[in-house]
């Protein structure tokens, strides 16, 4: 059996043969030793056996620095080869930051400035396309490709030629009606007065139809509906050019009767996926519920419920909610009209509930608490709360640098909740926490607690109650504020009026006589509404929370 000294000599000799010098006494073939490369004199630690095996397999000594230098030499040769290949094709690189890689500055989408030496045109193109797609000229190419395509289109557009006159008339009528609608409703369509201009003009904007004119024409939608002011928006000319038949934005309720429910649902789902859940899947079966969108990374499901006849008179939202709760999946159940009227607010609400909100963080203790006047309260709630303004008598706001960024409102108990006696003394010191919301540009931990404490210090109270919408919330905020869950309320229903949900309280039977053309006193509220074409849809109900003041009797 060889002695330890013989192993030392053997491995030292072997390593020297492949260009390495052992710098310490031999400890074992699989033990790390300090060694030096005899070529570049770089020192590092490695096992002798690994370097010998590397030499047998690859013919190199395994020095990290030598390996890096060899790779750099290969890369340099490859990049030089790429530049030479472009020159042979007549492409001259005039971008000093490009060295022949397949991407510029490590970014595959960044473009390189080059020149075609044959036609003299200078254009921009990504490095990947330059090297892989035999690009010749970014100016001549599109013109050359467009010519046969145009000829083919003309030769094969029999359908277009047959409808050309009708289409031109339709388009002209829509154009004239659009100009009138824009002139009349410019303040709401273009509130910031963005400049209207032609395509290609820097900074120019177009008056665009959310539901495109061509789509309206092909689906026999009236010119007046197509040109309705609710279907108009202002977008940058680049976003408008080439968009053709694609919907851009939230579909106006006016079009719900013309656009199939499935098409509307797919449009809304793709908008949410694009803006908030890019890794989500669309229309996934989650515990026998076809979920509009499901994000596995957040374990969050989004269910959009269309306002169509199939879902009317059904408790789809409640059934779905129970299924999600059983499987432990967090969820947001959204009615279609919310994505039409409160689009940005709904998006921000989804970001908040799924903790994907990247807004500025301000702690509640850094805010100043003071009373909010009625006008500012209405504006703030309309902008940042899904339910909009309320009839509250008290509103407190959190201000940061004199800017209102959070609000909590309180009201005396509502008649709709059973508090019918007008004598306030019968339910003295009982208050409803009506609204709590924050500016969606900020995250403000601790502000809800501060606003509530401010109210409690400045008002006499025995009980404060509030409600959480089960479509969005399980009441975590109320638990943090010290409230107790006292009641789970059954689902409530809404009537669909012109594509928008209206709460049943505004359509009670005693009010229908003045609202319906053919009111039948012998029929029920629902029968009267249904006979006039107004069906109903149900929500998920609410959770009632209560905070009661603890009184201590001193003997």
Domains of the chain from N-terminus onward: 4-62 (3.30.920), 68-151 (no CATH), 162-249 (no CATH), 261-353 (3.40.960.10), 360-487 (3.40.630.30), 493-538 (no CATH)
Residue 72: how many other CB atoms lie within 10 Å: 10
Strands (E), 318-419: 330-335, 360-361, 368-371, 394-400, 403-411
Alpha-helical runs (H) found in 190-260: 213-218, 223-226, 237-240
Beta-ladder partners of 493:
538
pLDDT, tens digit only, all 555 positions of the chain: 445 556 678 888 888 888 998 888 888 888 999 999 998 999 999 999 999 899 888 888 889 999 999 888 888 888 888 888 888 888 888 888 888 888 888 888 888 898 988 888 889 889 888 888 888 888 888 878 777 777 776 676 555 556 667 878 888 889 889 999 999 999 988 888 889 888 888 888 999 988 888 888 878 888 999 999 988 988 888 877 766 666 666 678 787 777 777 888 888 888 888 888 888 899 888 877 888 999 988 888 999 988 876 666 778 888 889 888 888 888 999 998 888 777 888 888 888 777 677 778 899 999 999 999 999 999 999 888 888 888 898 999 999 999 999 999 999 887 666 666 555 566 778 999 999 999 988 889 999 999 999 999 999 999 999 999 999 888 899 999 999 999 999 999 999 887 788 888 889 888 898 889 899 999 999 999 999 889 999 999 999 999 998 765 554
Q: What is the pLDDT of residue 2?
A: 47
Give 126-191 as a DSSP string: EHHHHHHS----TTHHHHHHHHHHHHHHHHT-HHHHHHHHHHHHHHHHHHHHHHHHHHHHHHHHST
Q: What is the pLDDT of residue 156?
A: 64
Which strands sit side by side in the sheet containing 43-46, from one edge to the other? 20-22, 33-37, 43-46
Strand-pair category, 300-305 with 330-335:
parallel
Burial 456-489 (b: 16+ CB within 10 A, else e): eeeeebeebbbbbebbbeebeebeebebeeeeee
Q: What is the pLDDT of residue 1?
A: 40
The rounded distance, in Å, linking the Cα atoms of 192 and 240 is 19
pTM (2 d.p.): 0.58
Angle at 263 between CA 250 and CA 285, to 5 degrees: 110
> Do residues 11 and 26 lie in contact, with contact meaning Cβ atoms separated by under 8 Å?
yes
Q: What is the pLDDT of residue 309?
A: 67
Burial 279-312 (b: 16+ CB within 10 A, else e): ebebeeebeebebbbbbeebebbbbbbbbbeebb
Q: Dihedral of CA 379/380/383/387: which sign? A: negative
Look at phi and psi of residue 101 and say left if phi exceeds 0, alpha if psi is from -120 to 50, else beta. Answer: beta
């Amino acid at each position: 059996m060889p002695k330890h000294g013989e192993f030392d000599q053997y491995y030292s000799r072997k390593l020297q043969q492949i260009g390495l010098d052992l710098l310490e006494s031999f400890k074992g073939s699989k033990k790390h030793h300090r060694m030096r490369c005899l070529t570049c004199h770089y020192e590092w630690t490695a096992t002798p056996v690994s370097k010998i095996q590397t030499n047998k397999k690859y013919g190199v000594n395994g020095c990290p620095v030598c390996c890096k230098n060899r790779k750099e030499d290969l890369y340099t040769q490859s990049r030089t080869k790429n530049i030479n290949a472009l020159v042979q094709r007549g492409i001259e690189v005039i971008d000093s930051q490009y060295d022949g890689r397949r991407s510029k500055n490590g970014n595959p989408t960044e473009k390189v400035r080059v020149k075609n030496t044959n036609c003299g045109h200078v254009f921009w193109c990504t490095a990947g396309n330059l090297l892989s797609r035999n690009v010749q000229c970014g100016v001549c190419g599109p013109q050359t490709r467009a010519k046969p395509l145009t000829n083919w289109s003309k030769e094969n557009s029999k359908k277009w030629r047959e409808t050309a006159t009708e289409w031109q008339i339709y388009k002209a009528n829509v154009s004239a009606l659009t100009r009138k609608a824009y002139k009349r409703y410019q303040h709401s369509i273009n509130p910031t007065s963005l400049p209207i201009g032609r395509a290609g003009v820097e900074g120019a904007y177009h008056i665009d139809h959310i539901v495109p004119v061509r789509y309206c024409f092909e689906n026999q939608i009236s010119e007046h509906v197509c040109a309705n002011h609710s279907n108009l928006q202002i977008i940058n000319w680049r976003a408008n050019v080439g968009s053709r038949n694609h919907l851009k934005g939230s579909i106006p309720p006016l079009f719900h009767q013309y656009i199939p429910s499935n098409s509307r649902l797919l449009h809304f789902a793709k908008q949410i996926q694009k803006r908030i859940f890019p890794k989500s899947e669309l229309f996934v079966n989650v515990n026998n519920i076809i979920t509009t969108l499901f994000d596995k990374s957040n374990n969050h499901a989004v269910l959009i419920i269309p306002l169509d006849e199939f879902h009317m008179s059904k408790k789809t939202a409640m059934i779905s909610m129970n299924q999600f709760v059983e499987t432990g999946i967090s969820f947001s159940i959204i009615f279609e009209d919310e994505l039409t009227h409160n689009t940005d607010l709904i998006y921000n609400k989804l970001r908040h509930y799924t903790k994907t909100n990247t807004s500025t963080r301000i702690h509640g203790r850094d805010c100043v608490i003071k009373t909010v006047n009625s006008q500012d309260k209405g504006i703030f709630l309309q902008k940042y709360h899904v339910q909009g303004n309320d009839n509250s008598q008290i509103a407190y706001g959190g201000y940061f640098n004199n800017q209102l960024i959070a609000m909590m409102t309180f009201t005396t108990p509502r008649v709709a909740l059973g508090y019918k006696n007008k004598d306030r003394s019968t339910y003295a010191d009982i208050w409803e926490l009506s609204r709590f919301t924050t500016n969606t540009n900020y995250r403000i931990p601790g502000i809800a607690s501060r606003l509530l404490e401010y109210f409690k210090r400045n008002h006499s109270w025995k009980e404060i109650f509030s409600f959480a919408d089960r479509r969005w919330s399980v009441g975590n905020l109320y638990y943090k504020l010290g409230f107790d869950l006292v009641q789970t309320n059954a689902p409530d229903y809404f009537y669909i009026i012109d594509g928008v949900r209206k709460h049943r309280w505004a359509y009670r039977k005693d009010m229908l006589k003045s609202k319906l053309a053919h009111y039948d006193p012998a029929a029920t509220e629902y029968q009267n509404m249904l006979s006039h074409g107004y069906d109903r849809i149900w929500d998920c109900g609410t959770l009632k929370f209560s905070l009661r003041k603890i009184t201590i009797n001193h003997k």
